Amino acid sequence: MSHSTVPRSGTEADTTEKTPVASGRATGSQEKRPSGKVSLRLRFRRDRVLLLMTLPAVLLVLLFNYVPILGNIVAFQDYDPYISDNGIVSMLHSPWVGIENFQRVFEDSAFWDAVQNTLVLFFLQLVLYFPIPIALALLINSVVRPRVRALSQAILYLPHFFSWVLVIAVFQQLFGGAGILSQLLRQHGYDGLDIMTDPNTFKFLITAQSVWKDAGWGIIVFLAALSSVSPDLYEAAAMDGAGRWRRMWHITLPALRPVIALLLVLRVGDALTVGFEQILLQRDAVGPGAAEVLDTFVWWNGVRNQDFGYAAAAGLIKGVVSLGLVLAANKVAHLMGEQGVYKK
């Protein structure tokens, strides 16, 4: 049964009967599998079950995360999907065009509009969305009745688990042309209004939807940070005469600072990715002028217009810049003494 425990000798197992814990360590247990002394073959035999366990996930990641990277060569091709039914065969037979696709992308005003929309949306979300979970967390943290806390958290978490399709449908029922708001306005003699199709306010609509869906979920990390603050600090501050607000300013907020900084940095790293599904679902209603972001630009040109080389070029530009941003953001996180997404 225990094929995977090759290096362990029988005699040791015998003596371990009585004190399994101590000897488990002594025989070089799981905690730190010895790597230096044991030969590769032995390690392979010992760990083959573990390797076999990771295999399915590794294969999936290789196939769907790493192999497609090679597919980015279509960005340098005049890719013709009609050469063959199989995309890879088409890829091999499509003519090379060098950086022509990239030149076209950079000269395309629609691309720059998409860049602008993406950045505007990012900043709107940063200013209007980001502070809300922090404020909500502070509020909930100051509620002492456990029942009230639990109930409000349960309600605030809920929309995070709704699909974007549902969230947008709900918004349409509230603010759409036939929605409850228009309905009320008309009943009182005003014109109905349709916020859902107004390009001028579209970016605020998107932000409002994000707030509705995820602000409650965003409080989790902050609440966790707050719950780890020692009550002694508050007591000491109160003894020294600090009032409610001073305690918040000098104890609560400093406790949140590292988390806020980290999330802020990570968000900046993710700046070029704003709500793809959410925006794609509403793109038709307001038109690409207001709704096109980089991701939907790629989708439109590639999937809809079948201009694969062009779309792949735009996607590659976005991907490379994004990677740079994420790496830079992590660097900054490290400089601030935080862990970032990965350890150094």
Partner 1 sequence: MTAVIDKPVRGPSRWAPPPRPTWEEEPSKAGLAGKGLVLTLACLGIFFPLWIVIVTSLSSRKTIDEAGGLVMVPKGITFVAYKELLSGGQVTRASVISILITLVGTLFSMAVSVLCAYGLSRIGSLGHRWILLALLATMFFSAGLIPTYLLVQSLGLTDSYLALILPSAISVFNILVLRGFFMGISQELIDSARIDGAGDVRILWQIVMPLSRAVLAVITLFYAVGYWSAWFNASLYLNDQDMMPLQNVMIQLVQKQEAPVGLGQAIKTGQLSGLAVQMAVMVMALLPVAVLSPFVQRHFKKGMLTGAVKG
Distance of alpha carbon 298 from alpha carbon 296, whole angstroms: 5
- Enter the tokens of residue 256: 């949140």
The token pair at 70 is: 């090679």
Does 197 engage in binding with partner 1 (CB under 8 A)?
no
One of 37, 147, 188, 344 touching partner 1 (CB under 8 A): 147
Comparing CB distances to partner 1, the nearer of 88 and 253 is 88
- Closest to partner 1 by CB, 244 vs 250, is 244
Report the C-alpha gap between 210 and 50 in whole angstroms.
40
112-131 positions binding partner 1, by CB under 8 A: none
**Is 97 among the residues that bind partner 1 (CB under 8 A)?**
no
Token pair 């980290």 is found at 262
CB of 267 vs partner 1, minimal distance in Å: 14
| Ranges within 19-58 binding partner 1 (CB under 8 A) | 20-21, 23-25, 29-35, 40, 43-44, 46-47, 49-54, 56-58
Q: How far apart are CA 144 and CA 164, in angstroms?
A: 33
**Among residue numbers 173 through 192, which ones bind partner 1 (CB under 8 A)?**
173-174, 178-180, 183, 186-187
- Which ranges of the chain would DSSP assign to H, the alpha helix? 10-16, 20-26, 40-61, 67-71, 87-93, 100-107, 109-124, 131-142, 146-157, 164-175, 180-187, 202-227, 231-239, 244-247, 253-269, 276-286, 288-291, 294-299, 308-335
Interacting span for partner 1 (CB under 8 A) from 96-104, 109-117, 122-130, 139-147: 139-147
**Contacts of partner 1 in 62-81 (CB under 8 A):** 63-72, 74
Stretch that binds partner 1, among 96-104, 121-129, 170-178, 198-206 (CB under 8 A): 170-178
Question: Per-residue x/- mask for partner 1, residues 199 to 238, rule CB under 8 A?
Answer: -------------x---x---xx-xx------x--xx--x
Choose the binding region for partner 1 from 105-113, 121-129, 198-206, 310-318 (rule: CB under 8 A).
310-318
Cα angle, residue 212 at apex, residues 209 and 217 outer, rounded to 5°? 125
Say whether residue 337 binds partner 1 (CB under 8 A): no
Which residue, among 275, 272, 273, 263, has the nearest Cα to 330 in the 3D structure?
263
Local structure of residue 248 (DSSP, 8 states)? I
